[in-house]
Amino acid sequence: MRFAIVVSEWNTEITEALSLGAKDTLLKFGAAESDIVRRNVPGSFELTLGAQLMAERKEFDAIICIGVVIQGETKHFDFICDAVAKGITDLNMNYNVSVIFGVLTLNTMQQALDRAGGAHGNKGDEAAITAIKMAALKKELEA
C-alpha cells in the first residue's frame, strides 16, 4: 500500500511528533519507506488542498492529514477547525481515497503535548492505523 502524509507547519514541534508517530506505525505494519510520501503545508487550513493535490495523483491508498489547532483569543480557531473538517470530509466524498483527519483541536499546548507522545499516547499512531484500516476496507470491497 502507498500512503501520503500531509503535515501542517503550525505548532511544528507537535505536528512533527505526530507525523513521525504516523510514519513509524505505517512502517511497523509493513509499509515500505519508499511507499510513504510526506509533504508540508503552511497551516491546518491548507491541509485540504495539500491532501487534494495528493488525491489527484491517484497513487495513494490513503492520505493522512496532520495538524494542530490551539484555541487563541480570536475566532481563528473556529474558522480553521470548521474549514479543515469540512474540507477533509468533502475530499473523502469526492475522491476515491480515504483522507484521515489527524488534526488535534485543543485548548492548550499541554493538551497537545499529552497527545503527541505524552500521557495520552501519540495520535499520529491512531491516524496511521485508521489509514491502514480504511485502505484495507477499500481494497476488500473493490476486489
**Kind of pairing, strands 121-122 and 116-118?**
antiparallel
Q: Is 76 a catalytic residue?
A: yes
Residue 113 found at the interface with ligand DLZ (CB under 6 A): no
Per CB under 6 A, the segment of 16-24, 27-35, 39-47, 85-93 that binds ligand DLZ is 39-47
C-alpha cell at 22: 504516523
On whether the CB atoms of residues 27 and 55 are closer than 8 A, the answer is no
By the rule CB under 6 A, 80 interacts with ligand DLZ: yes
- CB of 7 vs ligand DLZ, minimal distance in Å: 10
Nearer Cβ to ligand DLZ (33/73) = 73
How far is the CA of 90 from the CAs of 8, 41, 96, 97, 124, in angstroms? Answer: 19, 19, 11, 11, 21
Q: Minimal distance in Å, beta carbon 57 to ligand DLZ?
A: 22
111 touches ligand DLZ by CB under 6 A: no
Site string for ligand DLZ, 43-72 (x = CB under 6 A): xxxx--------------------xxxx-x
Closer residue to ligand DLZ, CB minimum distance, 3 or 45: 45
Exposure letters 73-103 (e unless 16+ CB within 10 A, then b): eeeebeebbeebeebbeebbeebebbbbbbb
Cα 106 off chain centre by: 16
Summarize as ranges the residues that interact with ligand DLZ (CB under 6 A). 8, 10-11, 42-46, 67-70, 72, 76, 80
Active centre residues (catalytic): 76
